[in-house]
Structure 1
Amino acid sequence: MSDVLVKIEKSFNISLNDTPANEVQNFGKLCEVVVEKVKKTNSDSCTTQQAFYKLRNAIHASAGHDNDIIKPQTKLADLFPRDGRIEAVAAIEEEMGFEIQLLKPKQWIVNAFTLLLVVSFVLAFYYLAIGIGGMVIAGLGLQLAGRFGKEMYIKTVGDLAEKIAREHYLKCRRDASTINKNEVSEKLRQLIVSNA
């Protein structure tokens, strides 16, 4: 739950540290606390739609794709071929002003280095030097895999727009001094579900 709270704080640019735990006893109360802390003017405009247009403009500006071909159902793999994918996503993140965390390593690589880490930890009880060496290799392997991963688990531009709208809510708003109070509970629910 602490990871979810950090994501909520980041998305809505608030701090929940001064909120007593007994004050937030259910999901509805969490929504009320977030809306109260954001203190923005209410506007009925759709944040996911605004995130889509911001994303489309960033893709156009950084990768040169025509806006007409960038639709919610457009496959990200068609826009970003495997070769040069890391650089293309970095250019979009720079254009948007925040990380979209789109790329990940292949799952079997993560599993292999995680297994090596666990085995090395156990091995350290019997052969300290070998165990520590294995843990160092596993840690470095996981870091490199994360840095150079090219897999996209999000398939379409629309799915990516929804992801960035929930993870960077205020940064996606056309007018950062507004919030759509009707959306807050849905965005919070999406953050919790995506983190489960």
Structure 2
Amino acid sequence: MELKIDSEDLEQMLLKIEDSFDIRFETNELAHVRTYGEFCDAIKGKISLDHSEDCTTQQAFYKLREAITKSTETEKKEITPTTELAEIFPKKTRKNQIKTLEMNLGFKLSILRPPHFVTGFLAILLLASFIVLFIDWPYGLIGLGLSIGGFRISNKLGNELDVNTVRDLSEKMTREYYVKSRRNSKTMNKNEFDEILEDWFVNFLGVRKSELTREARLF
């Protein structure tokens, strides 16, 4: 089975995985990798953290809960894994509170986005502008400029939450900031590794979990 993954998307995901586990690959170090199993083995072989049985998502939750109490007026006892983030971060103060939360955690969460109808409209405008380029290129260029500028502005001003609950955010932290989410940054729970790599392929590349066999070819 071939996963049919775009090589640029895979490279971008690899950079994020490197940041998450605090590792770095040399240029062409993964040139031999062709299958999902080989990719997982290469990542695992690069990590030199000591094994510890504790749960990283649980530790991420405690760190997140502590940071939320410092960033808002919410008390610890009010924060559970199922607590809705929209209840903690009301729209009027959301951007500033999320910014403060990120400062307290020490990393970007990237959980705010523009409304879907805005991105949908801009995507249609971008596609239409490409078509118009071949008919009336000045108007096509104007449309491209407006759509690209619109994406930048809407992403900067976006105020919609991209995750729903504290648990969702804890899992996102575990995936994207694994080392920083742990109490001891020199350790990892190696039993969690396979699931975390699966989450990357599912959430970042849109691959179905059932397709992720060791023999699945990446290209």
- TM-score range normalised by the length of the shorter chain: over 0.9
Q: Per-residue displacement from partner, 1:20-66 (whole Å, max 9, x unpaired)?
A: 332x3443433332222121111111110111111111101111311
**Counterparts of 2:142 and 2:156, CA distance in 1:** 21
Among residues 177, 194, 211, which one is paired with 1:185 in the alignment?
Answer: 194
Among residues 142, 159, 165, which one is paired with 1:133 in the alignment?
Answer: 142
Please provide the CA RMSD for this pair.
1.5
Q: Is the 8 A contact 1:7 1:191 kept in 2?
A: no
- 1:144 counterpart = 2:158: no
**Counterparts of 1:161 and 1:93, CA distance in 2:** 13
**Counterparts of 1:33 and 1:20, CA distance in 2:** 8
The aligned residue for residue 73 of structure 2 is 64
**Counterparts of 2:107 and 2:162, CA distance in 1:** 19
Q: What pairs up with 1:1-196 in 2 under 5 angstroms? A: 1-16=10-25, 17-22=27-32, 24-195=33-204, 196=206
Unaligned 5+ segments in structure 1 are none
CA deviation after TM superposition for structure 1 residue 112, in Å: 0.6
Q: Per-residue displacement from partner, 1:136-171 (whole Å, max 9, x unpaired)?
A: 111111111111111123111011101111111111
Q: Is the 8 A contact 1:121 1:135 kept in 2?
A: yes
Q: Is the 8 A contact 2:55 2:189 kept in 1?
A: yes
Q: Per-residue displacement from partner, 1:74-96 (whole Å, max 9, x unpaired)?
A: 11111011111111111111111
Unaligned 5+ segments in structure 2 are 1-9, 207-219
**Counterparts of 1:178 and 1:37, CA distance in 2:** 14
**Counterparts of 2:111 and 2:67, CA distance in 1:** 14
**Counterparts of 2:17 and 2:155, CA distance in 1:** 23
**Counterparts of 1:43 and 1:27, CA distance in 2:** 25
The aligned amino acid for 1:161 is S
**Counterparts of 1:47 and 1:28, CA distance in 2:** 23
CA deviation after TM superposition for structure 1 residue 121, in Å: 1.8
**Counterparts of 1:93 and 1:143, CA distance in 2:** 21
Percent of residue pairs bearing the same amino acid type: 36
CA deviation after TM superposition for structure 1 residue 10, in Å: 2.1
Give secondary structure in 2 for the equivalent of 1:72: coil
The aligned amino acid for 1:155 is N
**Counterparts of 2:71 and 2:124, CA distance in 1:** 38
**Counterparts of 1:27 and 1:174, CA distance in 2:** 30
